[in-house]
Amino acid sequence: METKEILKKVRKIEIKTKRLSNDIFGGEYHSSFKGRGMTFSEVRQYQFGDDVRAIDWNVTARYNEPYIKVFEEERELTMILMADVSGSELFGTSTQFKKETVTEIAATLAFSATQNNDKVGLILFSDEIELFIPPKKGKSHVLRIIRELIEFKPKSKKTSIGTALKFLSSVIKKRAIVFMLSDFMDDDYEKTLKITGKKHDLTGIRVYDKYDEEIPNLGMVPMLDAETSHVQLVNTAAKSVRIRYKANATQIRQYYINMFKKSGAGTINIRVDESYVKKLLGYFKHKGK
């Protein structure tokens, strides 16, 4: 893709998503996440009505009377966008590919963070870390993130959610707001997800196509596995084939939902032909309560 064409696409996405973040998500993002980042301020004597969970047991034992830890809100938060760039993201049977929807959602979230003067960082992953852009502020930084989401060419087509989460924990030490955008066609990431869920305010955004979930009766068709490049003839006319396909898709979806819930993380499911605006707004309103 030529530079002129890339800049044109960046501009188009900027106009669309910046308007959404300004008009819709700015306030909702603010109420959902501001004040969730807390830093230790001081220790003081326990007073009636204080939360007993804040008691500093070491200091309490030393002075033989109860003391609590006092925290204050961080004025500046950090948002980390984690985008799956594996082969399965280049799939779409409706208006656009999953990758394009991921890019629009990520851009909207990034502009929402910038509007609140927060830092934004980006991790692009497959079954390895493809790119890491450390968190920074400013419009030019967000535009760079959008450009990478549009034009980046990954080395691998496979997926590893666990690898991405491990990397996040190694590079982002302070608590951050993390959005992981993927179709989550992976498993065996429960352990790393549990660690990440404790450390960060994590939300999984599952972007999927309707044919990820079930396959129509198209007769005998060649099917390509986007992550292995393996082509296989599949008889979609066979009911048993369609049932197995749907059952496998359901198992993948349920694993994602159950593991994120178990880890204390949020989940959003967005189909490429649905309005991600409604889904995000509904999630932010619920989270802000």
Bridge-based pairing state of the strands 38-45 and 67-73: antiparallel
Q: What are the Cα distances from residue 180, in Å, to 23, 76, 107, 197, 243?
A: 23, 21, 13, 12, 29
pLDDT at 72: 56
- Give the predicted TM-score (pTM) of the model: 0.80
Nearest to 184 by CA among 215, 151, 213, 146: 213
Q: Average the pLDDT over 10-14 and give the result.
A: 79
| pLDDT grade for 38, boundaries at 50, 70 and 90 | low
Minimum mean pLDDT among 42-46, 136-140, 156-160, 168-172: which range? Answer: 42-46
Q: Which residue ranges does the chain devote to CATH 3.40.50.410?
A: 3-33+74-287
pLDDT at 177: 93
pLDDT for 3 beyond 70: no
List the CATH code of the domain at 3-33+74-287.
Answer: 3.40.50.410
User: Could you read off the pLDDT of 102-143 as tens digits, one per residue?
Assistant: 999 999 999 888 888 889 999 999 999 999 999 999 889 999
Residues 89, 286, 273, 142, CA torsion sign = negative
Residue type for position 280: L
| pLDDT grade for 75, boundaries at 50, 70 and 90 | low
Nearest to 105 by CA among 276, 226, 241, 288: 276
Q: What are the Cα distances from residue 26, in Å, to 17, 34, 108, 117?
A: 11, 11, 10, 11
In the chain, what is the straight-line distance between the N-terminal and C-terminal CA atoms, in Å?
A: 44
Q: What are the Cα distances from residue 57, in Å, to 44, 62, 63, 64?
A: 12, 9, 10, 10
| pLDDT grade for 44, boundaries at 50, 70 and 90 | confident
What is the residue-wise DSSP string for the chain? Answer: --HHHHHHHHHHHHHHHHHHIIIIIHHHHHHHHTT--EEEEEEEE--TT--GGGB-HHHHHHHTS-EEEEEEE-S--EEEEEEE-SGGGS--SSSS-HHHHHHHHHHHHHHHHHHTT-EEEEEEESSSEEEEEEEE-SHHHHHHHHHHHHH---S-----HHHHHHHHHHH--S--EEEEEE-------HHHHHHHHHHSEEEEEEEE-HHHH-----SEEEEE-TTT--EEEEETT-HHHHHHHHHHHHHHHHHHHHHHHHTT-EEEEEETTS-HHHHHHHHHHHHT-
| pLDDT grade for 184, boundaries at 50, 70 and 90 | very high
Q: What are the Cα distances from residue 89, in Å, to 72, 112, 177?
A: 40, 24, 23
